[in-house]
Amino acid sequence: MTDAADDELYELMQRFAMHAGNLQNKAWPLDIEELRLALPEIQEVVGNLDQCVSELEDHLIGLEIESGSEEPDEGMEDAADEDPVIETERVEVGSWPPPEPILTARPSEGYAATWLERLEEFLEGELGSRTGWTARELCTLPKTPGRQVAIPPTVLWENMVPTLRIYQELRAELGVPFSIRGYRPLAYNRSPKVNGSRRSVHMWFAALDVYAPVSNRQDLARAAARYFDAHPDLDLGLGIYGHPWSSNIHIDTGLRRRTWSKTRTWLEDVRA
């Protein structure tokens, strides 16, 4: 291991220890009301820990590659040289079963990078702009070793366009950076670490989970609720998790108009 790699690993471990200490040393609330008020702070600490774990995984994978101890994936050698072809036949949201991903791999590997670039070009071409998102964000599977990406089949690509358009409008309204999660292959959605809904729209590449900075989460929840009310003609699914403190929101298109979790309460708030 080089001195630079050693220093980076040490810094990552120090950050992890700091965030873990913040969680351990917190004076835990004794009643439901105190817990409700403390929840955003706890969520922020847990999010920091999760980010540190992801960076540690990426760092260790990089060391394995550098040392030559990591085995190459078999059967993928020629994928980087293949010219991706975008099929024109679209698979509708909810058609069962959802089609399998083109591939699942680490984003740094050549063939994954090729597909991510093509996906980004397609979506940007359909939207006319690209604000606040990357294809890598849309395809990252955060609960996999090395935070792998899964490339959705081309017959699903069009499904993400209207969902991304809504996301870009919300982001433009608030003017703050968001973190997003998009595609989930069927097997990943069913995995114990994810335990997603059996018919999750994420499997058809038409859904986004959107996370705002802690100080802007209520603003995001209100903006999403107002958008839902202002567009009664859209087949828009909206889930706002938590009230009066929101952790994140879910938006999807192409299935049917519906709400769940605390969305109705947020709708009542913005209508008042």
Per-residue pLDDT at 74: 36
Going across the sheet that includes 179-181, the strands are 179-181, 207-211, 248-253, 236-241, 258-261
Q: How would you label 174-193 residue by residue, b for 16+ Cβ within 10 Å and e otherwise?
A: beeebebbbbbbbebbeeee
Tell which wins on pLDDT, 227 or 77.
227
Per-residue pLDDT at 1: 46
The C-alpha atoms of residue 147 and residue 89 are separated, in whole angstroms, by: 30
Q: In the structure, what pLDDT confidence band is assigned to residue 79 with cuts at 50, 70 and 90?
A: very low
Q: Looking at residues 218-226, what average pLDDT do you find?
A: 96
pLDDT in tens, 94-138: 999 999 999 999 888 778 999 999 999 999 999 998 888 999 999
222 touches 230 (CB < 8 A):
no
Contact residues for 121 (Cβ-Cβ < 8 A; gap 6+): none
Tell which wins on pLDDT, 232 or 71.
232
Tell which wins on pLDDT, 155 or 45.
155
Per-residue pLDDT at 118: 95
Q: How far is CA 270 from CA 40, 90, 100, in A?
A: 21, 36, 40
Q: Looking at residues 71-87, what average pLDDT do you find?
A: 43
Task: Give the domain ranges of the chain.
Answer: 3-67, 82-271
Per-residue pLDDT at 6: 57
Q: In the structure, what pLDDT confidence band is assigned to residue 76 with cuts at 50, 70 and 90?
A: very low
Torsion of CA 126, 127, 132, 133, to 10 degrees: -20
Q: Which of 238, 153, 162 is nearest to 206 (CA)?
A: 162
pLDDT in tens, 19-70: 566 556 655 555 667 666 666 666 666 666 655 555 555 455 444 434 444 3
Tell which wins on pLDDT, 177 or 263.
263
Average pLDDT of the chain? 81
The C-alpha atoms of residue 263 and residue 243 are separated, in whole angstroms, by: 9
Tell which wins on pLDDT, 89 or 250.
250
Per-residue pLDDT at 65: 39
Arch. (CATH architecture) of 82-271: 2-Layer Sandwich (3.30)
Q: In the structure, what pLDDT confidence band is assigned to residue 85 with cuts at 50, 70 and 90?
A: low
Neighbours of 69 (CB within 10 A): 8
- The two tokens of residue 252 are 């999807």
220 touches 174 (CB < 8 A):
yes
Per-residue pLDDT at 47: 60
Which is it for strands 236-241 and 258-261: parallel, antiparallel or unpaired? parallel
Per-residue pLDDT at 131: 86
pLDDT score of 200 more than 60: yes
Q: Quote the percentage of the chain above a pLDDT of 90.
A: 53
Helix, strand, coil share of the chain (percent; to 5): 50, 10, 35
